[in-house]
A = this chain, B = another copy of it.
Amino acid sequence: MNVTADQPYGPDSLATDVPHPSQPLPLTQALQLPRIVIEDTQPVIEGGQLAAKAIIEQPVTVTSKVFADGHDKMAVRICYRAADEQQWHKAPMRDLGNDSWIGEFTPTSVSRYVFRLEAWIDQFASYRYELEKKYAAGVDIGLELEEGRLHLVHASERSQHELRGQIDSVLQRLGQNTEHEPQVALLLSSETATIMSHADNHAFLSRSFEYPLDVERERAQFASWYELFPRSITDDKSRHGTFNDVHSRLPMIRDMGFDVLYFPPIHPIGRAHRKGPNNSLTAGPDDPGSPYAIGSAEGGHDAIHPQLGTREDFRNLVAAAAEHGLEIALDFAIQCSQDHLWLKEHPGWFSWRPDGTIRYAENPPKKYQDIVNVDFYAPDAIPSLWLELRDVVLGWVEEGVKIFRVDNPHTKPLPFWQWMIADVRAQHPDVMFLAEAFTKPAMMARLGKVGYSQSYTYFTWRNTKAELAEYFTQLNQTPWRDCYRPNFFVNTPDINPHFLHDSGRAGFLIRAALATMGSGLWGMYSGFELCESAPVPGKEEYLDSEKYEIRPRDFTQPGNIIAEIAQLNRIRRQNPALQTHLGLRIYNAWNDNILYFGKRTADGSNFVLVAVSLDPHNVQEASFELPLWEMGLPDDAATLGEDLMTGHSWTWYGKTQFMRIDPSYQPFGIWRIRTTNP
């Protein structure tokens, strides 16, 4: 393996013309260099090696620094197209000052897109600017008028058909006047400007790279995930729940407002080294084992655990879920129990030790013998393992599954993900992958860059106001905003957050409010709505973890937060500003226990304010600021407020307001703010 890590995508033609960086540029090549600089274009990931993220029918904002020597006027535009289109679409960019340009375009298909910038010197605009200035200053402009005429003559010469006729008509009108004033008016008219822009010869045209963009369906950015173990959908711990049992849960999950229903692995579970309750090393004969120990004589990653039902049952469940507006997400955990058939059929995919035993994961003195990992770069694994894993995914896509939650992707090679995700999405552009990586920031971001649509986050461990404000803000900044869509899980079968151990019901509401309002993507593992929190003492793990045993639940038990979750999800559906983690800003509330932020759509039409007390035990009060400045309002303006949990509405007067949050009632406030103008 001996390759270059940061080779960017290049345009087709020029790469070989460029001398080695140790050599000075020959004059012949310097003369071909673009006169106009296009720098710091965004959204661009790794110089264009990897794709930035976008959503169908949502505008992509493109910014860049574009400048050249001198004082000429410039024109800049975005050219963009879907991968299967030949023609470029075009969108203008506008000058923000200080050489910054901005523009936007809206992709209309779920597909790989590319865009590039084009900039040129707009010679007629430069001329118009100068003419206007000189005319206003009262200097003689006889010569300038003749120059204007020549601009038109040359434009006519290089134009054809209708356009040429239009230019000639302007020229004719120009010739009919001898007075300066009407000539100036004609040359400065917007009509002439438009005609001349069509005839522009794009002097000193400079092009950026072509930058890739992955355009996905809306659910990549806005979705509410509900996680359950199908085997626990039973009223009796001794009876293994089935896919057919899950049907009974669908209405309630849908009523809570979820749209993705995610199952941990549904494949046959190994017998060898099976774990017992609470991760004990020895399982009893009736212990169901961890579904993450995938594979037995009954099949592997492409098979269904017999106790859950048949393939037909699974298909029926997928269809029934769809009828309830729920999309099934499956777990893709590339690991095997020692009973997995691959160990016999493809021993070369695994790593073996000198004594002929298989290498399993260890964290001394702990051993994880129930699970072994494949070796992606073993000689026998290339390319058969890569293809087999891709085909496992495609097999489930054939069954109607379009969303995969991937277990520990950061322990599998990045080139595998980069290839596999693109390959699957080339055939099925609506397929999405959620990265379950809890590791260092660089890898978290990189998984998004190589193609993951969504990612698990550090949200679960961000508890204080400072931590949350910093994290929410960071996710709105480069590079994160362009490559990483955070799915805020409030809990998982692996994470029973410390904060919830003794927070009581208010704590669950706090975390639910933060997750649902903080990102367009959030997730919940069943039991959260019942405020389950019994930990393995001192650990962030659930006692009697469902990973190792069947856990029937009474979803009607008192003290649950089902109604609140339903209302939070309803608010999300009704307010576009809440359907993404972007557009979030932290505002001032003078209390370190109250996180106060706003979410606002780019056009400003939907603006939601969220205040969450981080203290589940005590009443908290704060003065806070309504962000009137963002609405273009003065500090003493009146605004309309609406409590989105209760529907109450009122008028706010002025910028500074007061809030009181009682966690025994509701530890947060969610308010829509509007101008009083209709």
Smallest CB-CB separation from A17: which chain B residue? B7
Check A25–B139 contact: CB distance below 8 A: no
Closest CB-CB distance, A429 to chain B, in whole Å?
Answer: 11
Whether the Cβ atoms of B8 and A377 lie closer than 8 Å is no
Q: Which residues of B contact A1 (CB under 8 A)?
A: 32, 34-35, 203-206
Structural contact, B353 and A35, CB atoms closer than 8 A:
no
Q: Which of A103-154 contact B (CB under 8 A)?
A: 112-114, 119, 130, 133-134, 136-139, 143, 146-147, 150
What residues on B are CB-neighbors of A41 within 8 Å? 6
Do B442 and A36 touch (CB < 8 A)?
no
Tell me whether A68 is interfacial, beta carbon within 8 Å. Answer: yes
Chain B proximity mask over A512-524: 1 for CB below 8 Å, otherwise 0? 0000000000000
A134: B residues at CB distance < 8 A = 362, 364-365
Expressed in whole angstroms, the Cα–Cα distance for A41 and B51 within the complex equals 20
Contact of A416 among B30, B34, B136 (CB under 8 A): B30
A4 within 8 A of B: yes
- Asked if A382 lies at the interface with its beta carbon under 8 angstroms from chain B, I say yes
A396 CB-CB contact with B under 8 Å? no
Give chain B residues whose Cβ lies under 8 Å from the Cβ of A386.
27, 30-31
User: Contact: B443 with A25, CB < 8 Å?
Assistant: no
- A212 adjacent to B377 (CB under 8 Å): no
Q: Does A659 sit within 8 A of B, measured CB to CB? A: no
Stoichiometry, copies per complex: 2
Check if A419 is an interface residue, CB within 8 A of chain B: yes
Closest Cβ of chain B to A424, distance in Å, is 9
Distance from A408 Cβ to chain B, minimum over Cβ atoms (Å): 9
Do A69 and B25 touch across chains, with their CB atoms under 8 A apart? no
A422 in contact (CB, < 8 A): yes
Q: Is the CB of B209 within 8 A of A98?
A: no
| A67–B377 touching, CB < 8 Å | no
**Which residues of chain B come closer than 8 Å to A67, judged between CB atoms?**
440, 442-443, 446
Would you call B207 and A23 a contact (CB within 8 A)? Answer: no
Instruction: Say yes or no: is A251 at the interface (Cβ < 8 Å to chain B).
Output: no
By a CB distance below 8 angstroms, the chain B residues around A7 are 10-11, 14-15, 18, 209
Partner of A205, one of B2, B9, B70: B2
Whether A35 lies near B138 (C-beta < 8 A) is no
A410 / chain B contacts, CB cutoff of 8 Å: 69-70
Inter-chain CA distance A558–B114, complex, in Å, is 69
Which residues on B sit within 8 Å (CB–CB) of A18? Answer: 7-10
CB distance from A359 to the nearest CB of B (A): 10
Residues of chain A from 659 to 677 with CB closer than 8 A to chain B in the complex:
none
CB A146 to nearest CB in B, in angstroms, measures 5
Query: For A30, what are the chain B residues with a Cβ–Cβ distance below 8 Å?
Result: 386, 415-416, 418-419
For residue A366, give the distance in angstroms from its CB to the closest CB of chain B.
9
Closest residue to A47 on the B side, CB-wise?
A: B47
Which of A65, A67, A69, A83 counts the most B-chain CB atoms under 10 A from its CB? A69
Q: Does A467 interact with chain B (Cβ within 8 Å)?
A: no
- CB pair A139 B20 closer than 8 Å: no
List residues of chain B with CB within 8 A of the CB of A46.
39
Indicate if the CB atoms of B25 and A422 lie closer than 8 Å: yes
Decide if A24 is an interface residue (CB 8 Å cutoff): yes
In the complex formed, the residue of B with least CB distance to A8 is B8
A318 CB-CB contact with B under 8 Å: no
Given A22-B112, A35-B377, A68-B413, output 19 extra A-B contacts at Cβ < 8 Å.
A2-B207, A5-B39, A7-B14, A8-B8, A9-B19, A21-B210, A21-B211, A24-B423, A25-B419, A27-B386, A27-B423, A30-B415, A30-B419, A33-B419, A39-B442, A69-B410, A69-B412, A99-B440, A130-B364
- Top 6 closest A-B pairs, CB basis? A30-B419, A24-B422, A15-B15, A137-B364, A21-B212, A33-B415
